[in-house]
Chains A and B, each alone.
Chain A
Amino acid sequence: MAEETILSVIDLHTSFTTDKGEVKAVNGVSFNLTAGKILGIVGESGSGKSVSAYSIMQILEKNGSIKSGQILYKGEDITKWPESKMRDFRGKRCSIIFQDPMTSLNPVFTIGYQLEEAIKLHTDRRGKEARDRAIEMLELVGVNEPQKRIKQYPFEFSGGMRQRVMIAMALACEPDILIADEPTTALDVTIQAQILELMKDLQAKLGMAIIMVTHDLGVIAQMADEIIVMYGGRVCERGTAEDIFYRPAHEYTKGLLRSIPSVDTMGQRLEPISGTPINLLNMPKGCAFCPRCDAAMKICLEEQPPETRTVDGHLAACWQAIRAEIDAGMIRAEQKA
């Protein structure tokens, strides 16, 4: 079967108008999502992951807008779609679940009402049929006694259960794409693992593509088919999980890896990346990560690094990586001669 690209984000720029000026949250992000695959987006908080996700759904806050770029869904640019058509995209073609399940469900409506609302919006199911579908979805995500639970309110559910309900709601209309914006960040570690397990299961059963947004590399290590590393609203590096974990080329990715515990670094001190995230009101001319980079060179200050193939064939936008590639190329050339 040929791999079908279901969603292409091309050179996306999104910014917010604020009292202090224009906050450029996303600055030229591009990626392709293959049908049925899992794409991970990692980066520190503030790197523009959520804004990228909300741009796809067009659920940005009032002061935000897509400045340029395209978002192709099955080849159609949805940034050109009118709001009425976008309503059918949301929840039916593409769903999103959020970071904090405690606040993501409306406290004054029953779980059943909120699930059925989504079902009625996008399918012909009404009345009992909608209710049955809601119960079926709750069962699917592992909520016990769904007939009883459906009449309850969000406050009667734990955080993990609420996230299951969010997942049920997101998948009720069988979307092609599920965006999960830090779905486990607000949960306990044991619950985190359960939710991730559930998402993997459901992906295998239902076959939707997933965009898994997280600031925690560990979360997507075993899940993602492809990983994008973001910083300052740009993509720094992209590749398979192995590429990113074992052959990181961008200085920022290397820093991220040093800051998480792993078997390799056991016993060593973890090093958080020093310095503060960049000021999006005033983006540097060169590499966004340059002010915090230990290996910065003169060119890093002056020019944005283009995405370039690394020695092993994945992509990174880092002058150091480019230099390494040139060095390697020279060595190869020398060896040939």
Chain B
Amino acid sequence: MAKYIFKRVLLAIVTIFIVCMITFFTMNAIPGGPFAGEKAKSPEVQAALEKRFNLDKPVGQQFVIYMGNMLQGDFGISAKTGREISQTIGSKFSVSAKLGIFAVLTAVVIGVVLGSIAALMRNRVPDRVIIFMSTLFTSLPSFVLGSFLLVIFSVKLGWVKAWSPTEQNLVLPVLALAAYPASYITRLTKTSMLDVLGQDYVRTARAKGVASWKVLFIHTLRNALIPVVTYLGPMIASVLTGSLVVEQIFTIGGLGAEFVQSITNRDYPMIMGVTIFLAVFMVTMNLLTDIVYKLIDPRITLD
């Protein structure tokens, strides 16, 4: 296990390095730059800025300098705002992550519970309703759902306050974020639960005299959740790093919004910072998923 993790971490470092390289060079290859903005600047200011951000040097050298600084934990400052990149990412991510964690928890709880109910009441009314709803929510784009939620519950009914920087009401954005993964997990759980319920070992458990609720929670659910766990890693990564669409609709200044903005701004240090952060995050989530997967399914060998 330790050996496996060590190997994976090495691999992750290589992956992240490659991501850095590709991002850095493509970013520089695209026409324009951080200071090719609307307002004309005097040649002196332009030159000074370019010098400050090493833009006067060849791209290769810039990359070496950047990587060198990064290894010392210095991600530089934003070419637009002048603020520390690491600070900006930290504060933006904390917003996205808070939303994301609630959304993930909501999605998992709703998905597993509804999926199990649908499986246990197969072909009866609750199953039909649950599957109809989950089909609906998987096919509804998040910008439609987000706008709907906002208009209906916040504007029309006034039940829930909309998000604002001072009053960060999580309910609506969490629902908008959780809807798709919740529906997906519902269907995943139902399918896999039905499969497991028909397995011989479930019958063995009953034949041993295990109470039916224990058969369900101990012998069935653990096996049924294996596919859900494999979906969890990528899902957590995508939800926690912020959904651009949902953040835009609810005007939440999260990482998703920040990333897109940094690209339109050609804010090179910011693009690099966010990219590296996302890459590290994804890689870590994948590794964690594999480890959890191994923990709940002993048949999996990590090698």
The stretch among A69-77, A100-108, A267-275 that forms the contact with chain B is A100-108
A5 to chain B, nearest CB (A): 23
21 A–B pairs (Cβ distance < 8 Å), ordered by A:
A83-B212, A87-B209, A89-B209, A90-B206, A90-B209, A91-B207, A92-B209, A95-B207, A98-B200, A98-B203, A103-B200, A103-B201, A104-B200, A106-B204, A106-B205, A106-B219, A106-B223, A108-B296, A117-B208, A121-B209, A166-B204
B contact residues vs A (CB 8 Å cutoff): 199-201, 203-212, 219, 222-223, 226, 296-299
Q: Which residues of A contact B204 (CB under 8 A)?
A: 98, 104-106, 166
Q: How far is the CA of A91 from the CA of B211 in the complex (A)?
A: 12
Q: How far is the CA of A117 from the CA of B218 in the complex (A)?
A: 11
- A81-119 CB contacts (< 8 Å) to partner B: 83, 87-92, 95-96, 98, 100, 103-108, 110, 117-118
List the 5 closest A-B pairs by CB distance, nearest first. Answer: A91-B209, A90-B209, A103-B200, A106-B201, A91-B208
Does the CB pair B201–A87 fall under 8 Å?
no
- Contact for B207 among A83, A90, A108, CB less than 8 A: A90
Q: Which residues of A contact B222 (CB under 8 A)?
A: 108
Q: How far is the CA of A98 from the CA of B208 in the complex (A)?
A: 12
- A172-196 CB contacts (< 8 Å) to partner B: none
Does the CB pair B219–A57 fall under 8 Å?
no
Which interface class (under 10, 10 to 19, 20 to 34, 35 or more) fits A?
20 to 34
Given contacts A87-B211, A108-B223, 6 further A-B contacts (CB under 8 A): A90-B206, A95-B207, A104-B200, A104-B203, A106-B223, A108-B222
Q: How far is the CA of A59 from the CA of B298 in the complex (A)?
A: 28
- A106-154 CB contacts (< 8 Å) to partner B: 106-108, 110, 117-118, 121-122, 153
Q: Which residues of B contact A166 (CB under 8 A)?
A: 204
Q: Which residues of A contact B299 (CB under 8 A)?
A: 107, 153, 155
A101 to chain B, nearest CB (A): 9
**Interface assignment of A169: CB less than 8 Å from any CB of chain B:** yes
Does the CB pair A105–B201 fall under 8 Å?
yes
A contact residues vs B (CB 8 Å cutoff): 57, 59, 83, 87-92, 95-96, 98, 100, 103-108, 110, 117-118, 121-122, 153, 155, 166, 169
Closest to B297 in A: A108
Q: Answer whether A155 and B207 are a contact pair too, CB < 8 Å, given A100-B200, A104-B200.
A: no
Closest to B225 in A: A108
Q: Which residues of B contact A105 (CB under 8 A)?
A: 201, 204
Q: How far is the CA of A89 from the CA of B211 in the complex (A)?
A: 12
Closest to B298 in A: A153
Q: Which residues of B contact A87 (CB under 8 A)?
A: 209-211
Q: How far is the CA of A273 from the CA of B223 in the complex (A)?
A: 41
B127 to chain A, nearest CB (A): 14
Does the CB pair B201–A104 fall under 8 Å?
yes
Q: How far is the CA of A95 from the CA of B212 in the complex (A)?
A: 17
Closest to A121 in B: B209
- Contact for A155 among B199, B205, B223, B298, CB less than 8 A: B298
Q: Which residues of A contact B211 (CB under 8 A)?
A: 87
Q: Which of A59, A90, A108, A121 has the most CB of B within 10 A?
A: A108
Does the CB pair A59–B209 fall under 8 Å?
no
Q: Which residues of A contact B200 (CB under 8 A)?
A: 98, 100, 103-104
Q: Which of B199, B204, B211, B226 has the most CB of A within 10 A?
A: B204
A151 to chain B, nearest CB (A): 11
Closest to B222 in A: A108
Q: Which residues of B contact A110 (CB under 8 A)?
A: 298
A18 to chain B, nearest CB (A): 12
B20 to chain A, nearest CB (A): 39
Closest to A179 in B: B207
Does the CB pair B223–A90 fall under 8 Å?
no
A183 to chain B, nearest CB (A): 13
- Contact for A90 among B201, B208, B296, CB less than 8 A: B208
